[in-house]
Amino acid sequence: MSDDKKGRRASPGRLLVTSLLLFLLLAGITALVLYLVYRPSKPRFTVSAAAIYDISNASSQANAISTSMQFTLVIRNPNDRASVFYDRLSAYVSYRNQPITPPAALPPMFQEKDSTVAISPVLGGGFVPISGDVAAGLATDQAYGVVGLRLVLLGRLRYKSGPFRSNWYGLYVRCDMLTGFRKGVTGPVPLLGEPECKVDT
C-alpha cells in the first residue's frame, strides 16, 4: 500500500481529533468568560450599633457568666448580577477568644442583587462557663469602661446569577469591636472606632 493512500485514510482521524480539540478550546474560553462575567464578590458585613443589657456572674458558679446583648449587623451584597442565599446561620459573642453567649440560630435569608439588609439579633440567655482569666479580664475592662468583643456569624451561602446557582460555601464572619461599657449601665453602648469585620467563605 502506498504512503499516499495511508495518509488519506489517516486524515479523517486527524480531522476528528482537531475538531475535538477546537471544541474543548472554545468550551474552555466560554466557561472562562462566563466565570469572569458572573463571578460573585463576597458580601460585606459591618456592625453599626450595639446594646448591652446584662453581664452578670453566676452566684453558684465562680466561672460562669450570663449576658444579654444586641447588635445591628449591616450586610451589603455588592454584586449587581448575583443574589445571595444564606442558610444555617448562627451567631455568638466572644471575649478574648472565648464564647460568652450561647450560639443563637438565625432564620435563613435571601438578599437581592446590589442591596443592603440589616439584622439585629439578641444574643445571650443562660449561663456560659468561662475561665477565671476571662472573668477577671471582663471585670477589669468594665471598670475601665472599654470592653473588646467579637461578634461571630457562622453559616453557609450560595449565589444565584441568572440561570446559574453556585454550590453552598461555608460562611465565617468575625467582627471585632471596642464598646464603651461600664458595669451597672445598660442599653445602647457606643462603638469606639470602626468595627472591622472579616469574611471567609
Note down pLDDT in tens along the chain; length 201 residues: 555 555 455 577 788 888 888 888 888 777 666 655 566 899 999 999 999 998 887 655 668 889 999 999 999 999 998 999 999 999 999 999 999 999 999 999 999 999 999 999 999 988 899 998 898 898 899 889 999 999 999 999 999 988 888 899 999 999 999 999 887 888 999 999 888 899 998
Same domain, 35 and 52: no
- Per the domain annotation, does 6 fall within a domain? no
Half-sphere exposure of 147 (CA within 13 A, CB side): 28
Q: Within a domain: residue 33?
A: yes
Q: How many other C-beta atoms lie within 10 A of the C-beta of residue 37?
A: 10
Assigned domain for 2 exists? no
How much is the pTM? 0.81
Domain tally, the chain: 2
- β partners of residue 41: none
- If one counts every other C-beta atom within 10 angstroms of the C-beta of residue 155, the result is 20
Residue 1 lies in a domain: no
* Alpha helices (H) along 58-173: 132-144
Same domain, 53 and 33: no
The answer to whether 197 touches 46, Cβ cutoff 8 Å, is: yes
Domain, as residue range, for 94: 41-200
Q: Are 141 and 148 in contact (CB under 8 A)?
A: yes
Q: Is 52 exposed, middle or buried (0-12, 13-18, 19+ CB in 10 A)?
A: buried
3 found inside a domain:
no
Same domain, residue pair 35 and 62: no
Asked if 191 contacts 149 with a C-beta cutoff of 8 angstroms, the reply is no
